Amino acid sequence: MAAIIELKNVTRTYKLGDEVLNALNNVSFIVNEGDFVAITGPSGSGKSTLANIIGGLDRADSGSVVVDNTDLGHTRDAKLSTYRNQHIGFVFQSFNLQGNNTALENVMLPLVFARMKNKDRKARAKECLEAVGLGDRLKHKPTQLSGGQRQRVAIARALAVKPKIIIADEPTGNLDSSKGEEIMKLLKELNKQGITLLVITHDLNVARMAGRVAEIHDGKITERRG
């Protein structure tokens, strides 16, 4: 399979006061289309930094990042935003839904930035919510939904623009184990349909579901096949 994510010698350092933190230290990493990769490691090891760089939310200090033929190292904000909109679906630990909006409106948000027509937006958002099993919760606000349902809405939002890659940062972190399992099953299902899946986790049960497990330690990546 062709490589969809290609990182070469990527370094990212943070300055915390006087301290220099090497979040990523000369990391090279390839993900093929359709892969399900779990990225594990202790807190502060650089897992999220890796995910953010791949997702176009953060930039590498040096090295090259090419995702789906887009070189993220030399991209302006507007183009990078469009890249996030078109190629990446994000799923967060704390769901990050907009509290005042209904499930449907939350899923429509990326489509608003994609300048889709209002009617098409609604249809697509409904489709996505039905795909995650929330066809009967369209008008519900996040506060009226359980944690598992909220994460499903977040996944539906990630799916809305039909991205090739979904990046999930601790998607089960705020859920009990049975709900977490359901969410992972849903993600795995999406992976089977061809979406490349990157899951950041320190839950070994989650990591076990992945085809590949990459472990980050002090900014260095080591990999073992799952």
Query: How many residues bind to another protein according to rule CB under 8 A?
Result: 26
* Residue 12 and residue 53 in contact, taking contact as beta carbons nearer than 8 Å: yes
In the complex, the smallest distance separating the C-beta of residue 225 from another protein, rounded to whole angstroms, is: 30
* Residue 141 and residue 128 in contact, taking contact as beta carbons nearer than 8 Å: no
84 binds another protein (CB under 8 A): yes
Decide whether 154 or 213 has the Cβ nearer to another protein: 154
In the complex, the smallest distance separating the C-beta of residue 186 from another protein, rounded to whole angstroms, is: 19
| Sign of the dihedral through C-alpha 78, 79, 85, 88 | negative
In the complex, the smallest distance separating the C-beta of residue 161 from another protein, rounded to whole angstroms, is: 8
82 binds another protein (CB under 8 A): yes
Of the ranges 29-37, 67-75, 97-105, 138-146, which one interacts with another protein (CB under 8 A)? Answer: 97-105
In the complex, the smallest distance separating the C-beta of residue 94 from another protein, rounded to whole angstroms, is: 9
**Which are the contacts of 16, defined by CB distance < 8 A and separation ≥ 6?**
none
In the complex, the smallest distance separating the C-beta of residue 90 from another protein, rounded to whole angstroms, is: 5
Q: Compute the distance between CA of residue 49 and CA of residue 45 in angstroms, rounded to an integer.
A: 9
115 binds another protein (CB under 8 A): yes
Decide whether 162 or 185 has the Cβ nearer to another protein: 162
**φ, ψ for residue 48, nearest 5 deg:** -65, -35
Q: Compute the distance between CA of residue 42 and CA of residue 201 in angstroms, rounded to an integer.
A: 9
Q: Take residue 93 and report the two structure tokens written for it.
A: 């630990």
Of the ranges 26-34, 96-104, 181-189, 192-200, which one interacts with another protein (CB under 8 A)? Answer: 96-104
Q: Which residues bind another protein (CB under 8 A)?
A: 52, 55, 57-58, 77-78, 81-82, 84-86, 90, 92, 96, 98, 100-101, 109-110, 112-115, 118, 157, 161
